[in-house]
Amino acid sequence: MITQEKIEYYIEKIPPLPKTLRATLQLLNEGELTKAAKVAKLDAALSSYLKELVNKPIYGFKNEVEDVSQIFGILGVSKSQQVVYSYMISLLSPDSWSFFQLNRNSFYALQAELSVGWQKILSHLSIEDKEIVSAITLLPASIIVSEALFCEKKEDVTLLRSVSEIDLNTILFRLCEKDLFDICESIAKKWDMNETIIALVQASSGIKPSTDKQTDSLGKWMHLLLFYTLSKPLYIEAGLNDFIEFNISYVEDIYEEFASVMEVS
Provide the binding-site residues for another protein, judged by CB under 8 A. Answer: 1-3, 153, 155-156, 158-166, 170-171, 174-175, 224, 227-228, 230-233, 236-237, 241-242, 245-246, 248, 251-252, 255, 259, 264-265
Residues 232, 214: Cα–Cα separation, whole Å:
28
Residues 263, 253: Cα–Cα separation, whole Å:
17
- Beta carbon nearer to another protein, 105 or 158: 158
Residues 158, 221: Cα–Cα separation, whole Å:
30
Would you put residue 111 in left (φ > 0), alpha (ψ -120 to 50) or beta?
Answer: alpha
CB of 111 to another protein, least distance (A): 18
- Beta carbon nearer to another protein, 65 or 166: 166
CB of 212 to another protein, least distance (A): 25
Residues 215, 237: Cα–Cα separation, whole Å:
31
Residues 226, 228: Cα–Cα separation, whole Å:
6
Would you put residue 206 in left (φ > 0), alpha (ψ -120 to 50) or beta?
Answer: left
- Beta carbon nearer to another protein, 156 or 195: 156
CB of 160 to another protein, least distance (A): 7
- Beta carbon nearer to another protein, 126 or 164: 164
CB of 237 to another protein, least distance (A): 5
CB of 1 to another protein, least distance (A): 4
- Beta carbon nearer to another protein, 42 or 264: 264
The conformation of residue 151, written as its DSSP 8-state character, comes to: G
Residues 123, 114: Cα–Cα separation, whole Å:
14
- Beta carbon nearer to another protein, 85 or 250: 250
Which residue, 197, 200, 262, 198, is CA-closest to 231? 262
